[in-house]
């Protein structure tokens, strides 16, 4: 008879993939958002016009 080696199924490291997804999402957010400073600086430098 042939011997069949049965090994238990390896547990998947789901927490590793979860952390990796969070890091990738955060990196994409900061790269695409550019920290949000550009729009607030632009709004502050608009000169106010006063026409009586």
Distance CA 41, CA 35 (A): 12
1-52 pLDDT per residue, tens = 788 998 888 887 889 999 999 999 999 998 888 755 555 555 566 666 766 5
Q: What is the pLDDT of residue 33?
A: 84
Structure tokens at 20: 């990796």
Q: What is the pLDDT of residue 17?
A: 92
Q: Widest CA span of the chain, in angstroms?
A: 103
Structure tokens at 39: 């729009």
Sign of torsion, CA 7 11 12 16?
negative
């Amino acid at each position: 008879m042939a011997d069949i080696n049965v090994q238990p199924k390896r547990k998947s490291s789901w927490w590793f993939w979860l952390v990796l997804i969070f890091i990738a999402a955060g990196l994409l957010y900061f790269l695409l958002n550019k920290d949000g400073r550009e729009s607030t600086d632009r709004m502050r430098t608009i000169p106010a016009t006063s026409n009586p």
